[in-house]
Amino acid sequence: MKYENQSNIARMLGTWLGEAWLLHSPQRHTQLIVVPIPMHPQKQKQRGYNQAALIAESFCQTTKLKLSVNGLERVRETQAQFGLSVSEREKNLAEAFVVGKKFRDRCPSTSVLLVDDIYTTGSTTKSAVQILHQSGIKVLGLAAVAIAIKDQHTSS
């Protein structure tokens, strides 16, 4: 999806994630604002799309939750996280995000739900949540379409 220019897969995954949310969200959280994990503008320009934003758009179409594509901004270009250790990921993401202009102008009174394509070590989520919390924005959590499972047979 990310590296093979298959943005249509992101939309389908967002719909499925939204359907799962509706089936399993105990409180339904109808007032949430959905914020996709942003890409750096240069990287997004190269790829042509942000897969997390496409997932979030379909997710919101399915759940009827409000979407804020620019709730967060990525202001520092980071290297790809794939293959990095947890500490390298945290260092890579240091000061990579800022609260988006819309939220800086008017802090949301409701909680935010972050959306991403994959949850690996939590470094991206932790960095994003920290920035939002520093601005007084509550974060319910993260919805992701996949989670990486560490292979017990490797030494990383």
89 part of a folded domain = yes
Decide the pairing of beta strands 33-36 and 97-99.
Answer: unpaired
Q: What is the mean pLDDT of residues 68-82?
A: 85
**Residue 104, domain CATH:** 3.40.50.2020
123 part of a folded domain = yes
58 contacts 18 by C-beta, under 8 angstroms: yes
Q: Which residue do the tokens 């992101």 mark?
A: 10
Q: What is the mean pLDDT of residues 134-149?
A: 93
DSSP state of 28: -
Q: What is the mean pLDDT of residues 4-22?
A: 89
23 part of a folded domain = yes
Q: Which of 10-19, 60-69, 76-85 has the lowest mean pLDDT?
A: 76-85
Give, to the nearest 10 degrees, the angle between helix 86-93 and helix 123-134.
Answer: 40
pLDDT recorded at residue 4:
63
Quick one: pLDDT band at residue 142, thresholds 50, 70, 90? very high
33 contacts 68 by C-beta, under 8 angstroms: yes
156 part of a folded domain = no
34 part of a folded domain = yes
pTM of the model: 0.86
Q: Residue 33: which domain range?
A: 7-147
Evaluate if residue 9 carries a pLDDT over 60: yes
Number of other residues whose CB lies within 10 A of the CB of residue 110? 14
Q: What is the mean pLDDT of residues 45-72?
A: 95
Q: Quick one: which of 53, 54, 58, 55 has its CA closest to 69?
A: 53
136 part of a folded domain = yes
How many domains are there within the chain? 1
Evaluate if residue 3 carries a pLDDT over 60: no
121 part of a folded domain = yes
